[in-house]
């Protein structure tokens, strides 16, 4: 199993070997049910540089899919999104997040039931926290039931097994059949 990725900072920038400024990227982590479809949705957004599916918010180091599905680790299935904020804003990613799942169902998306399928935004900075809270408040107007999405500090992100990465794309599927 791979080691956890450091998510203590939401942005990365620096100077290259030639002394010129390198592109800035930021990281966002979203849980919106089964990570296969969520990853496919975020990969389509211009300005998203990369995605990785994995697990966050739990107590077990280096959890496996089986550990998480057993429901005893506290992890959520999540997608880590690395993006170029000059091309797509965190707020635009949040907007897509609200569109691609039902944030009013507790620990469930479609036929998938369990704490690992909860709706959650893991923030890396106070600015991401504030943006997520404001976005949630705006999104509430679209739903009759209360939004139950958690907005919590980012924890360690544990990449899922390789066969889960770009799962739908590898199988020539555009979407999960629910």
Active-site residue flag, 34:
yes
Residue 63: name the closest of 155, 160, 152, 165 by CA: 160
59 burial type by CB count under 10 A (0-12 exposed, 13-18 middle, 19+ buried): exposed
Find the catalytic residue in 29, 32, 34, 48.
Answer: 34
Residues whose CB is less than 8 angstroms from the CB of residue 96 and which lie 6 or more positions away in sequence, other chains included: 41, 42, 45
Phi and psi at residue 30, to the nearest 5°: -125, 140
Which positions are catalytic? 34
């Amino acid at each position: 199993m791979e080691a956890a990725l450091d998510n203590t900072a939401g942005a990365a920038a620096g100077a290259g070997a030639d002394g010129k400024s390198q592109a800035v990227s930021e990281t966002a982590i979203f849980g919106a049910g089964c990570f296969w479809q969520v990853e496919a949705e975020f990969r389509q957004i211009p300005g998203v540089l990369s995605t990785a599916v994995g697990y966050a918010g739990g107590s077990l180091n280096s959890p496996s899919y089986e550990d998480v599905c057993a429901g005893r680790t506290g992890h959520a299935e999540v997608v880590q999104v690395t993006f170029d904020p000059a091309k797509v804003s965190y707020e635009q990613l949040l907007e897509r997040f609200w569109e691609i799942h039902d944030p009013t169902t507790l620990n469930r998306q479609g036929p998938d039931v369990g704490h690992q399928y909860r709706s959650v935004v893991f923030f890396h900075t106070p600015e991401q926290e504030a943006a997520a809270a404001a976005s949630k408040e705006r999104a509430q107007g679209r739903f009759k039931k209360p939004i139950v999405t958690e907005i919590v500090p980012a924890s360690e992100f544990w990449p899922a097994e390789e066969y889960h990465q770009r799962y739908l794309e590898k199988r020539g599927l555009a979407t999960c059949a629910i």
